Amino acid sequence: MAGSSLIPVLTLPQPLVLLPTARLQTFLDESAGSKLLQLVQRSDSQLVIGTVPCASTSEVYSWGTGARIVRVARTVSRASDKAFQVTLHGLSRLHYPDTQSGAPFSPNDLVELVAERPKSDGPPSQEAVAAFRAAATKLLDHLAQDANQQSRRDVYVKISHMLEEVSNDRTPWMADVIVAGINKLDYNDKLVYLSAAGVNDRLQRATELFVKQASISEVTKKIAQSIDESLSKQQKEFFLRQQLAAIQRELQALTRTPGATNHDNNNSRPSSGLSELDDPEQAEAEDMADIRNKIEAMAKDSEERKMAVREWKRFQRIPAGSVEHGVIRNYLEWLTSIPWPSSSAFAQGSSDKLRDRAFLENARKQLDEDHYGLEKIKKRLIEYLAVVRLKQLQAEQEASSKEAMTASASGNDSATEASPQDAENNSKAVSVRTNAPTVDQQKPKRGTATKAVKGPILLFVGPPGTGKTSLGQSIARALDRPFQRISLGGVRDEAEIRGHRRTYVASGPGSIVQALRKAGRPDPVILLDEIDKVGQSNFHGDPAAALLEVLDPEQNHSFNDHYINVPIDLSQVLFICTSNSLETISAPLLDRCEVVHLSGYTYDEKLHIARKFLLPKQLKANGLTPEHVTLTQSALLRIATHYTREAGVRSLERAIGAVARYKAVEWAEYVDASGITDVTRVPPVSAADQVAEKAAGRARTYKKLVEEDELETILGIARWDEEELHREERRGLVYGLVVTGMGEGGILPIETTAVPGSGQLKLTGSLGEVIKESGELALSWVKAHAYDLYITKLRSQDPLKVPDPIDIHLHLPSGAVKKDGPSAGIAMTCAFVSLLTGACVPANVAMTGEITLRGRVGPVGGIKEKVLGAHRAQVTKIILPWANRKDVEHDVPPEVRAEVQFVFARTMEDVLDAAFGKGVLSWRRSMVVMESRL
């Protein structure tokens, strides 16, 4: 080192570093600026001072630069730290041996330090010069290519020409020029280069910096090119929106900070003052952490975990602005939200309720509270619940016995340890034997819960309003499981059941997976409503065929949704289907279900339902209490018989609701007129008060009792009159039994008359092919037995042509209603016999049954509905086929069987005797029906 001297030194704050050959402008405060100005004024020539980087207050850097003061000027700024502006020009390196004297240091301050000037060590080596020239040329070429302005590009080209022409001795000076001109150098790199006093060391460090900057420039250029090629319009928009959101958050933080404390104190809001909508980044992080935790909770080596891990890895690699990023995110959310039976993230359902010894009793109580009647259905449901409880208890007992055996095996292995000299040899084997059961216990097993809850697929079939959907809800409450309803009415796309494949835009899982996600448990009760109204097969696929896998207990343990694409275990799900009819359900689908028929309610059941359920529900819905409205039994019966005509109770509920609304208007008007404050109680009013108020012309007294004679004022004229009750006994008229399209039974008069003609049969009344054939069969049987019934005098005579040719016209009223089926056969036969013999069938007799040419009476369906309709019409004698006697015993309520006389007939002779009475019709001979031996 050359001689040392005490010189004024200007401390430069980070990141300012003055290199030799470089220029630097900085600001000084009033004190430092005044000192420097005095030094300049006292100097005879241009003042030279030292500069040193100052990164801390305790010491300065050991190397700096001697600089010439180019300009010192006072600024117009009012800031105290910008009173003077100084321009410095770097000359040569300086070394400061004592870097701590004069501490503490402050930036942009003028201090006095001992400085040493390094000695010159001669010309650089040829190797250092060659490496320096190559690295500098490459860097200057990159800088010229990357420059956005032509002027800067020209500067880099001129420097490159200077580098070629400069001599080897001047290459260290050229290194200082180029390094000082690079703006993107790191602060520490500049300090390291500043400390290089030797020429070879300086060229070597400059070469390293040039190589590093050239590499950074190449990588940056490649990244920029790849980003420009891959970024789409949507991705750029995403980045811009992210930046905009960040700016908005910063602005909100600035505006919220000053008054946050007062605002929170005044309104008692949380101290943070933030909403869940204010920090989307935190919510995003929480969502991703939740997804990751659910993946970790999945069973090891399970299909769903393998798929989730694979998609998670893809999700991490794809940029956030990519469209595929959102697709995979949506898929992961669906995959992790499904309650997998083997996952520990979802509750498997508490079995405490099933362990309760009063489980079945509570289930019966629950069903009785929710539904009146339906004893057969309740019996079947109790049987199912009993099986569920037994299977659950058996599964738990098997699991506990396995655990006990495992524990005992572990204890035996631990007890039989080897001797000390053999312990080292056998330690590995012992550890394997004792640890294996523990691993099996910790690993979740698939299928244990499945055996406990696997059950039949129940299909409730019945008319609308008979309680099919509410039965499913009652089962869910009895089992303490979540309830989900899927409406299949009008579903015409297979993807609505199985889901869309992920290749489609806006694809998603099917309704089964959506119901599982909403339930949050692998064992919910899922109601498939209106399964008979599923769309037919078309180019979208067959939804009914897609349901085959869902409703098959032997297949649904590995249900495959097209979107999830992982087998899903549905065997723990209790599926309940509802339908209004079985005709439109495909045979394979029907074969997978256990059919439970729900027929219509009797009037007695409807009255109980109305009194127990419907009336309290409608009173509460209309702001009334049982104290405000009381319906008499006769009024309820008239509403059920004359204002509704259905198998269920929906129309009955609407009619009761109309009565409740009418009384609500009366009560509101009475309250307003009387000035009553307590609207929940009806004040007692005596008969004398009623007469006095009426005489005074004041507000009328509120009457809470609704009687039968008031219904016409409230509900209007009855929709159904009593034509069923006003029947007549007439020649050629017989009453048959039918089931209407609403699922309710009734009686239908079969009218016949004889008109002049040529012996033809005319059928009218919107009849189908089957019922027309029944009419022809009945007439053929009557013609074949006309001689036996004294209708003709000879067997060869046609009763429609002798003595006078006639035509028979048979008509079924309600011509706008389609009618079909074979069940009117015996009634048509009796109508023809009555017309041709003159005998009349009593008006209290109704019948149904199919007829054959041999005179046999075949069984028909809908017995319960038909019998209830006949009982409602006050029919006291019903003729049914012999084969339907079991339906009467099992389906017809006992109170109805006690009031109706049933006659079960095997042949038409039995039917005629029961219909007309014994001895009314004369027979020429006894009818003998012989079975064929062929």
Which residues are tagged catalytic? 823, 866
d(CA 667, CA 670): 5
The tokens of 843 are what? Answer: 């008006």
Q: How many CA atoms, within 13 angstroms, populate the side-chain half-sphere of residue 101? A: 9
Query: In 515-593, at which residue ranges do the beta strands (DSSP E only) sit?
Result: 525-529, 559-560, 567-568, 574-579
Only one residue has tokens 């097993």, namely: 445
d(CA 107, CA 189): 20
Under a CB-based contact definition with an 8 Å cutoff, are residues 847 and 826 in contact? yes
What single letter denotes the amino acid at residue 454? K
Tell me which H or E stretch contains 67: strand 63-74
Return the C-alpha torsion angle 826, 830, 831, 833, nearest 10: 140
Under a CB-based contact definition with an 8 Å cutoff, are residues 745 and 600 in contact? yes
Strand 84-95 with 63-74, pairing: antiparallel
Tell me which H or E stretch contains 620: helix 615-621
d(CA 194, CA 198): 11
The tokens of 245 are what? Answer: 């959101």
The tokens of 556 are what? Answer: 């649904």
Rounded (10°) angle between helices 468-479 and 359-370 = 150
Query: In 496-605, at which residue ranges do the beta strands (DSSP E only) sit?
Result: 525-529, 559-560, 567-568, 574-579, 594-597
Separation of CA 895 from chain center: 47
SS3 808: strand
Only one residue has tokens 């004069």, namely: 102
d(CA 159, CA 839): 132
Under a CB-based contact definition with an 8 Å cutoff, are residues 345 and 335 in contact? no
Strand 458-461 with 574-579, pairing: parallel
Q: What residues are paired with 877 via a beta bridge?
A: 845, 901
d(CA 909, CA 907): 5
Could you please report the per-residue DSSP string of 824-886?
A: BHHHHHHHHHHHHH-----TTEEE-BEE-TT-BEE--S-HHHHHHHHHHTT--EEEEEGGGHH
d(CA 203, CA 132): 6
Q: Which residues of 628-659 are buried (b: 16+ CB within 10 A; e: fewer)?
A: bbebeeebbbbbbbbbbbbbbbebbbebbbbb
Under a CB-based contact definition with an 8 Å cutoff, are residues 393 and 399 in contact? no
Under a CB-based contact definition with an 8 Å cutoff, are residues 782 and 799 in contact? yes
> Cβ–Cβ contacts within 10 Å for residue 873, how many?
19
d(CA 386, CA 391): 9
Q: Which of 529, 523, 587 is nearest to 557 (CA)?
A: 523
d(CA 913, CA 903): 10
d(CA 828, CA 776): 9
